Amino acid sequence: MAPGKPGKSTGASENPSVTLFREYLRIDTVHPKPDYDAAVRFLERVGTDLGLACQKVEVCQGRVVLILTWQGTNPRLRSILLNSHTDVVPVFEEHWTYPPFEAVKDSQGNIYARGAQDMKCVSIQYLEAVRKLKAEGKSFARTIHLTFVPDEEVGGHKGMEMFVQRPEFKALNVGFAMDEGLANPSDTFSVFYGERSPWWIKVKCMGSPGHGSRFITNTAAEKMAFEEQVAAWCRGAGDGVTYEFHQVRGLSHPGMLYLSLPCQSDPWWKAFSGVCRDMKLQLKLEIFPAATDSRYIRAAGHPAIGFSPMNRTPVLLHDHNEFLNEQVFLRGIEIYSRLLTALASVPPLPNES
């Protein structure tokens, strides 16, 4: 999908969900100084308009988790959690065709902005799926919570990692969670049931941009090595040179992967995969190549799936000219509305009776 001429910022013919998406993309939540207050105000306004209960939890100074809740008819049942993060990674504007925080839409319907794929699209798709279901007069036994968390792009240490330890998170009574996935350039949709355990160390190295997991030619990641090489560099540099890992091997014992391995006997996976089968969505089950906030949710004991409904879309998270086509975005709202209907209607489980 090559860039075409940019379209107007809004228009009478534009789907209101797309307009809302572009409005969110224009909120500058880029590191190192994300405007979290503006994002929370925007999302709280949308949630209030939808009749959702709003709760704000400051997990540490300046870091607020927003919770929007659609109460189920049987609050004793475990809830459905829809998680997304509000922050986005930095940009190099000189490499962008359009300004990365103007959400320009070209003649092909491609919307260019940082966060278009990672992951402001998903945040708005959740909300618009709820809007659609409410407009249809739907109600469900299970409560649906939407959480919008800060700092995922810098490890989640002042976001989800702290939030899952809070009584407010425990009060959500989570049964099943969904979080971000990745685009897929084929007809297939990627579904992630676990992820690698990352090691984080801060080293500056220049190379081609894009997510380090994608094996891009001349990427900075391919120039780097494992711990022994890092240690050797420091030793060779002379006395007084040290290094430290910002994050090592995930959250527990070395090498542990946090898995929600799908099986047909699992009621959550049965509901999720059943919708995809009915909608004729081809799924590819994968381990996420990097790390998301799902690892904290899984470590707290809750099954979680990483899923962003973006097929026929190049993988552009963290890359220049990140975009999402408006038709792919709108299709995602329909997919989420069907998924929520199934998941929030899962019958009471044996341990919920």
Residues 58 and 101: their CA atoms lie apart, in Å, by: 26
- Determine how many CB atoms are found less than 10 A away from the CB of residue 117: 27
Task: Please report the pLDDT score of residue 245 as a whole number.
Answer: 67
* Distance (Å) of CA 304 to CA 25, 78, 109, 171, 176: 26, 14, 31, 17, 6
Task: Please report the pLDDT score of residue 215 as a whole number.
Answer: 61
* Distance (Å) of CA 321 to CA 8, 101, 102, 110: 18, 11, 12, 10
Give the residues of the chain that fall short of pLDDT 50: 1-2, 7-10, 249-258
Task: Please report the pLDDT score of residue 243 as a whole number.
Answer: 77
User: Which burial class, exposed, middle or buried, applies to 203 when counting CB atoms under 10 A from its CB (0-12, 13-18, 19+)?
Assistant: exposed
Task: Please report the pLDDT score of residue 230 as a whole number.
Answer: 76
Beta-ladder partners of 148: 66, 84
Catalytic residue numbers, as ranges: 87, 152
Residues 249 and 251: their CA atoms lie apart, in Å, by: 7
| Residue showing tokens 């649906």 | 144
DSSP string, 247-265: E-STTSSTT--------TT
Task: Please report the pLDDT score of residue 253 as a whole number.
Answer: 34
Task: Please report the pLDDT score of residue 203 as a whole number.
Answer: 62
Task: Please report the pLDDT score of residue 264 as a whole number.
Answer: 77
Closest CA relative to residue 85, chosen from 161, 166, 18, 180: 180
Pair 54, 67: CB distance under 8 Å: yes
Task: Please report the pLDDT score of residue 174 as a whole number.
Answer: 98
Beta-ladder partners of 285: 191
Q: Kindly list the structural domains of the chain, giving each domain's residue range(s) and its CATH number in brackets, ordered by start.
A: 16-198+254-347 (3.40.630.10), 200-247 (no CATH)
Residues 161 and 151: their CA atoms lie apart, in Å, by: 10
DSSP string, 26-70: TS--BTTS--HHHHHHHHHHHHHHTT-EEEEEEEETTEEEEEEEE
SS3 177: strand
SS3 200: strand
CB-side exposure of 92: number of CA atoms within 13 Å? 8
